[in-house]
Chain A
Amino acid sequence: MESILTFDSLLFTVVVKVLVIVAFFLVAALVVGYLEHKVMGHMQDRTGPMEAGLGPVKHGVGQLVADGAKFIQKEDIIPRSADRWVFAIAPGVALVPTLMILVVIPFGPGVWAENLDLGLFFALAASGVTVIGVLMAGWASANKFSLMGAIRDAAQLIAYELPLVLAGAAVALQAGTLSLVEIVERQNELVLFDTIPVWYGVPQVIGFGLFFVAAMAELNRPPFDMPIADSEIIAGHMTEYTGLRYAFFMLSEYAGMVVLSALAVVLFLGGWYPWPGADLPDGAWGAVIGTVTTIAKTVILAMVMTWARATFPRLREDQLQRMAWTILIPLALAQIVVIAIVIVVLP
């Protein structure tokens, strides 16, 4: 099936795809950021932002737009002893990989930018590049807190990249393909014991958990936010940043939540199908229902990340490393072995 964003002119197609992806990237980050403000507020028995609104709609819906406007007005400060060039481009390097992953994520039948043969592999490869931006920022700031944050972030990424990739590999094993679109379609055909249709999240519930935890750790989301622990190292690699560049880092965190949640939905929760074994109508209605379903599931997962942030205390650095190397990675390896055996034994 072709992407619905395909037109006769190649140039026009490319321009439309880039515009749609960037627009979605910005809007999704704003929406999830706003939801986090509100949801976490209510979890802590307060209301969150209430005043800023867009037109007649209040309840703080304009809060992040106002924040963005504020960030744009701020003075762009580069410390005197900083490495100017590296400092300046680091936020962009951290942001672009997240944007790249969005290219391959399917939101509905036909609603994707590219259906790569290697979609999953591409997404996992791109997700590992973000840390270079973080290391650049931490080093170029000429600040020991920044440097420590960056080093912690790199150590964390090396540790949690493995369970993320292994959990993804187990899904690819069961689906027999690396294309994210085909993974969604195969997933919908899975029937347990010839009666119960399920998604990969059921037979691979361990993998789903591993993927989700590793995704939170990759994004430095609490409880895995040791690299930006405010009580120890101020804000880690972001300590010296102000204005638009700081906003870029925040944007890549919230967009990263959306992107990795959407990837988890595609891999484990049936993608655009509302329930296991569902049948979507062809044409525009199918695309609309599918897109709404994917986005709804993605938002729910992003809210679970917020829930975790409001619930768990921050893990210590050694606890973080021990959890990855002694629990998550052995579990992921064991899961792959079990899945491989089951795939071979059951035709």
Chain B
Amino acid sequence: MSVPDLFMLGALVLGGAAALLVVTARNVVHAALYLVVALVAVAAAFLWMGAEFLAWAQVLVYVGAVVVLILFGLMLTRAPIGPMAQHNENRKFAVAVSVGLFALLMTLIVTTVGDATLDVTPVRVADLGEVLYVQWAFPFMVLGFLLTVALIGALVLARREEGEGPLPDEGPDDARDERERAPASSDVTSAPGSGDAGQQIGAP
């Protein structure tokens, strides 16, 4: 086994282990962080196969943007420290599906390209650009158009229609303040002992 083979094996073992940890981690933030390791390992595998651009794109898009968005979303909503209770009734089903899918894919790959030897010559960006923007220019543009449509669609879905929900001018903040003030004042009136103090603080 040569040195590049060893590096490749290391990347695959590391990536596989991290991927397993992603689904078995008891904490959802830990799972997202293991995902970083798995994605970096995949980037390393790309690098060892000569796909330099793909490797850095993997780092830029998946590690630098997708995982950051996942972490951002988790932390904005709910991500306590420590193990979390998991109510997952579909666990057995999920394990069966993923093991089955893995077996199917591996059989397909090994039977079709199992004995092929990979010619590891680094791909130059200029060649990649030539293929993408000249040879496959039309499919590339169609893809770009599709993605733009998807982006605009997401924006339309995320934006509220006019008339739905509170208007920005009417200030939902004021309404919330009203709600928060109401129980406080009723407490003051119902408990006369502490009412004086509360009114003194509230008085200008």
Contact = CB atoms under 8 A, between A and B. Distances in A.
Interface of A: 81-83, 86, 116-118, 121-122, 124-126, 128-129, 131-132, 135-136, 138-140, 142, 147, 150-151, 154-155, 157-158, 161, 165, 178
Contact of A158 (B29, B59, B60, B69): B69
Given A117-B125, A121-B53, A139-B75, A132 B81 contact: no
Contact of A129 (B57, B63, B76, B81): B63
Contact of B60 (A86, A124, A131, A139): A124
B93 to A, nearest CB: 31
Interface string B99-134: 000000000000000000000001011000000000
Given A117-B122, A161-B64, 19 more contacts: A83-B29, A121-B60, A125-B59, A125-B64, A128-B68, A129-B64, A132-B33, A132-B36, A132-B68, A132-B71, A135-B71, A135-B75, A138-B75, A139-B75, A139-B79, A147-B75, A154-B72, A158-B65, A158-B72
B27 to A, nearest CB: 8
Contacts of B125: 117-118, 121, 178
B14 interface: no
Contacts of A131: 64, 68
A41 B197 CA distance: 49
A82 B63 CA distance: 24
- From DSSP, what is the main secondary structure of chain B's interface residues? helix
- From DSSP, what is the main secondary structure of chain A's interface residues? helix
Interface in B45-70: 52-53, 56-57, 59-60, 63-65, 67-69
Contacts of A142: 81
Nearest to B74: A139
A66 to B, nearest CB: 35
A131 B125 CA distance: 27
Given A139-B75, A154-B72, A117 B33 contact: no
Contact of B64 (A86, A128, A147): A128
Interface residues of B, number: 27
A81 B27 CA distance: 15
A126 B63 CA distance: 9
B76 A151 contact: yes
B63 A140 contact: no
A97 to B, nearest CB: 9
B59 A139 contact: no
Interface string B159-200: 000000000000000000000000000000000000000000
9 A-B pairs with least C-beta separation: A128-B64, A125-B60, A125-B59, A125-B56, A154-B72, A135-B71, A83-B81, A121-B56, A122-B56
9 contacts: A83-B82, A125-B64, A128-B60, A128-B64, A131-B68, A132-B68, A151-B72, A154-B72, A157-B68
A183 to B, nearest CB: 13
B76 to A, nearest CB: 6
Contact of B72 (A121, A128, A135): A135
B75 A151 contact: yes
B68 A154 contact: yes
Contacts of A151: 72, 75-76
Nearest to A89: B33
Contact of A81 (B53, B67, B81, B124): B81
A118 B124 CA distance: 9
A158 B75 contact: no
A128 B66 CA distance: 11
Contacts of A128: 59-60, 63-65, 68
A147 B80 CA distance: 11
B68 A86 contact: no
Contacts of B68: 128, 131-132, 135, 154, 157-158
Contacts of A150: 75
